[in-house]
Amino acid sequence: MRNDTRLIHEGMDPKQHHDSLTVPLYQTSTYTFHSAEQGQRRFAGEESGGIYSRLGNPTVEVLEKRMMALENGGGALAFGSGMAAVSTILVHLTKAGDHILCSKGLYGCTFGLLGIFETKYNITHTLSELASRQEIEEALTDKTTVIYVESPINPTMEIVDLALVCEVAKERGIRVVVDNTFCSPYLQQPLVIGADFVLHSATKYLNGHGDVIAGILVGRDADEMHQIRMTVQKDYGGIISPFDAWLILRGLKTLHVRMDRHVTNAEKLLSYLKTEPAISKIFYPFDEDHPQMAIAKKQMKAGGGLISFVIEGGTEAAQRFLNNLRLIHVAVSLGDAETLIQHPATMTHSVVPEEDRLAMGIDNGMLRLSVGLEDAEDIIDDLKKAFQAI
What is the arrangement of strands in the sheet containing 144-150, beginning at the earlier edge strand?
A: 75-79, 215-219, 197-201, 175-179, 144-150, 99-103, 124-128
54 is catalytic: yes
The residue from 73, 82, 303, 335 that contacts ligand LCS (CB under 6 A) is 82
Give the nearer residue to ligand LCS in terms of CB position, either 72 or 333.
333
d(CA 330, CA 319): 10
CA distance 361 to 310: 11
Query: Which residues neighbour 135 within 8 Å (Cβ) at sequence distance 6 or greater?
Result: 128, 129
Q: Output the residue with the shortest Cβ distance to ligand LCS.
A: 82
- If the CB atoms of residues 81 and 184 are measured against ligand LCS, the closer one turns out to be 81
Positions in 349-378 near ligand LCS (CB under 6 A): none
Residue 220 annotated to the active site: no
Binds ligand LCS by CB under 6 A, chosen from 57, 94, 145, 154: 154
Contact status: 83 vs ligand LCS (CB under 6 A): yes
Minimum distance from CB of 212 to ligand LCS (Å)?
Answer: 9
Can you tell me which of 181, 184, 233, 364 binds ligand LCS, judged by CB under 6 A? Answer: 181
Please give the DSSP secondary-structure letter assigned to residue 326.
Answer: S
Question: Is-cis flag, bond preceding 285, omega within 30?
Answer: no
Work out which of 94, 201, 308, 339 binds ligand LCS, going by CB under 6 A: 201
Q: Nearest to residue 176, comparing CAs of 168, 167, 166, 184?
A: 166
# of chain residues touching ligand LCS (CB under 6 A): 19
Q: Which of 53, 81, 184, 265 binds ligand LCS (CB under 6 A)?
A: 81
Among 59, 128, 339, 348, binds ligand LCS (CB under 6 A): 348
Measured from the CB atom, the residue of 42 and 175 that comes closer to ligand LCS is 175
Among 213, 265, 272, 300, smallest CA distance to 372 is for: 265
When the beta carbons of 351 and 359 are compared against ligand LCS, the nearer one is 351
Q: Calculate ∠ Cα 271-279-342, nearest 5°.
A: 90
Distance between CA atoms of 78 and 61, rounded to whole angstroms? Answer: 8
Q: Which residues on neighbouring strands pair with residue 210, listed in sequence order?
A: none
Among 107, 148, 197, 321, binds ligand LCS (CB under 6 A): 107
274: annotated active-site residue: no
Least Cβ distance, residue 166 to ligand LCS (angstroms): 19
Nearer to ligand LCS, 324 or 333 (CB): 333
Please, which residue, 7 or 240, has the CB nearer to ligand LCS?
240
Question: What radius of gyration do the chain's Cα atoms show?
Answer: 21
Binding mask 273-312 for ligand LCS (x = CB under 6 A): ----------------------------------------
* Distance in angstroms (rounded) separating the CA atoms of residues 50 and 43: 10
Find all residues with CB under 8 Å of 4, minimum gap 6, and list them: 256
Q: Report the SS3 class of residue 201.
A: strand
332 belongs to the binding site for ligand LCS (CB under 6 A): yes
CA-to-CA distance for 304 and 153, rounded, in angstroms?
12
The reply to whether 77 sits near ligand LCS by the rule CB under 6 A is no
Whole-Å CA distances, 385 to 214, 241, 244, 273, 314: 35, 41, 37, 13, 19
Region from 19-27, 105-113, 311-319, 356-364 binding ligand LCS, contact rule CB under 6 A: 105-113
Spatial contact of 140 and 173, defined as CB atoms under 8 Å apart = no
Q: Which stretch binds ligand LCS (CB under 6 A): 67-75, 299-307, 310-318, 330-338?
A: 330-338
Catalytic residue status for 204: yes
Residues labelled catalytic = 54, 107, 179, 204
Rule CB under 6 A: which residues touch ligand LCS? 81-83, 86, 107, 109-110, 150, 154, 179, 181, 201, 203, 213, 215, 332-334, 348
